Amino acid sequence: MPALPETLAPRLPSPTQEAHDSAFTARNVRLTLKRDDLIHPEIPGNKWRKLAPNLRSAAQSGHHTLLTFGGAYSHHLRATAAAGRLLGFRTIGVVRGEELAARPLNPTLTRCAADGMRLHFVSRSAYRHRADPETEADLHSRFGDFLLLPEGGSNAAAVHGTAALGAELTEPGTVAVPCGTGGTLAGLAAGLGEGQHALGVAVLKGGFLTGEVSRLQHSAFGAPCGAWRVEDRFHCGGYARTTPELEAFAQEFEERNGLRLERVYVAKMLLALSHLAREGAFPPGSSVTAVVTGAPAG
């Protein structure tokens, strides 16, 4: 039987760290980093929080194989592959982009393959139908028994896992997370208490997140939970896009605070918070906790 995730000695609760940024200092707003990136070196941040409950139920229900979905740069695929190697699951990654099969693998997919993940490349149009019941039936006839995790690992169990993040935070004020699928925000908001509200910074263009977070909360809790909102203005052009402003901000923040920032999600969230602070979105004397949801690949 595969091992339980607890055997990997996650650093929980994750530590917090006081941070410094001129926009916050100017407004007299306190900025704290919640260092979820330090939970586990290979399954960091929200990937740990979302995978752990799924890994537990997979092990307990006798599944030996995990199948999941992602793009060529997916942190979720990487974390799933690492968890498979460390705990003794077979893993299958359904990857968006048929053409990738004919090219040398990028560093993310190389790492997945080295961890033993079987990569199954599908066209973009087939990938769009990943959640259809027929797709799952096809995958079962090809790969046999597996536990299916949706893209980004965001299912009801994952949302319960990220509620534990909210429960670790007691400081009143805003708690911010960067959002891809919205699974982390959905759980975080539910786990917060009185006087706290969650702010999700979308790193993708499209404005679909509010609906997705509501849907995920319904599937996990049966109803909307907690105080939360989505900020859609700071995607910097879309997923994994960058701007000279984002890069300059990230480098300065890194130097000032002595940590390296993951660029696709974490740096974008911090830049968004810095703009919001400058706009006066946080009252003087209040507190903002920014969740460092992942670490730079390295």
Ligand X SMILES: *Cc1c(COP(=O)(O)O)cnc(C)c1O
Q: How far is the CB of 291 from ligand X (least distance, A)?
A: 8
Looking at the Cβ atoms of 27 and 203, the one nearer to ligand X is 203
Q: Please, which residue, 27 or 127, has the CB nearer to ligand X?
A: 127
> What tokens appear for 132 in the block?
């259809």
Chain positions contacting ligand X, by CB under 6 A: 45-47, 75-76, 152, 154, 178-184, 262, 265-266, 293-294
Taking the least distance from each CB to ligand X, the nearer of 34 and 75 is: 75
Q: Which is nearer to ligand X, 2 or 182 (CB)?
A: 182
Question: Cα(293)–Cα(101) distance, rounded to whole angstroms?
Answer: 30
Minimum gap (Å) between residue 41 Cβ and ligand X: 14
Q: Residue 237 — left, alpha, or beta (φ > 0 → left; ψ -120 to 50 → alpha)?
A: left
Whose tokens are 């203005």? That residue is: 233
**Do residues 296 and 264 make contact, with C-beta atoms less than 8 angstroms apart?**
no
- Least distance to ligand X, CB of residue 228, Å: 12
Least CB distance from residue 276 to ligand X, whole Å? 18
Q: Are 249 and 271 in contact (CB under 8 A)?
A: yes
Torsion from C-alpha of 230, 231, 232, 234, nearest 10 degrees: -150
228 or 265: CB nearest ligand X: 265
The DSSP-derived string for 226-256 is S-EEEE-S--TTSTT---HHHHHHHHHHHHH
Helices (H), 122-221: 124-128, 133-143, 156-168, 183-191, 209-221
- Shortest Cβ distance from residue 200 to ligand X (Å)? 7
Judge contact between 163 and 250, C-beta under 8 A.
Answer: no
Measured from the CB atom, the residue of 263 and 275 that comes closer to ligand X is 263
Give min distance, CB of 207 to ligand X, in A.
Answer: 15
Measured from the CB atom, the residue of 147 and 158 that comes closer to ligand X is: 158
Which tokens hold the place of 193? 């208490």
Burial 230-249 (b: 16+ CB within 10 A, else e): bbbebbbeebeeeeeebeeb
Residue 87 Cβ vs ligand X, minimum distance, rounded to whole Å: 19
- With CB atoms as reference, the residue minimizing the distance to ligand X is 294
